[in-house]
Amino acid sequence: MSLDHWLLLIHIAAAGIWLGGTTVLYLLSRHAIRNGSEMSAIRQFEWVGPRSGGPLSLLILGTGIWMILRSEIWDFTRPWILWGLLAFVVLTFFGIGLHRPNFLRIDAAEEEGDTARAEQLAHRGFAIAGWEAVVLLATFGVMVFKP
């Protein structure tokens, strides 16, 4: 197997793990809402997100760029490659720009004893995770069909 095969394997495996993990976390959030255990679930999100989404997204970005640079037929003007780069930016914004501040607000609400506000913010975090799953799934589709 060539380096290109290994890069593609790592790229696809990391994307699959990220999509699967995000989907499972979203489904667990729906279950937590039904069972009234939102705060426990959001703490799991807070712990898992930076340890999975961030590193996996960087691995996907790195292997993707490396494959493009090695390729004689692909370049950065292909619509599916541009979609992937845009998805990276959007998902990074979700993590750093939306989830992280939301976790800090949850912490502050809990410290103030405002459980209702903390739960409301947890629901916001779950909604963001749902949109992450949608963006990841759409990106998977674009990468498979390469429009």
Task: Give the pLDDT means over successive 10-residue stretches in the chain (147 positions).
Answer: 96 95 88 90 89 94 97 95 97 95 96 95 92 94 94
Q: How many CB atoms lie within 10 A of CB 47?
A: 11
Which region, left, alpha or beta, applies to residue 91 given φ > 0 means left and ψ of -120 to 50 means alpha?
alpha
The greatest distance separating any two alpha carbons of the chain, rounded to the nearest whole angstrom, comes to 59
At 88 the pLDDT is: 97
At 114 the pLDDT is: 96
Q: Six-digit token pair at 31?
A: 């279950």
pLDDT, tens only, 51-90: 999 999 999 999 999 999 999 999 999 999 999 999 999 9
At 45 the pLDDT is: 86
Cβ neighbors of 82 (< 8 A, separation 6 or more) are 76
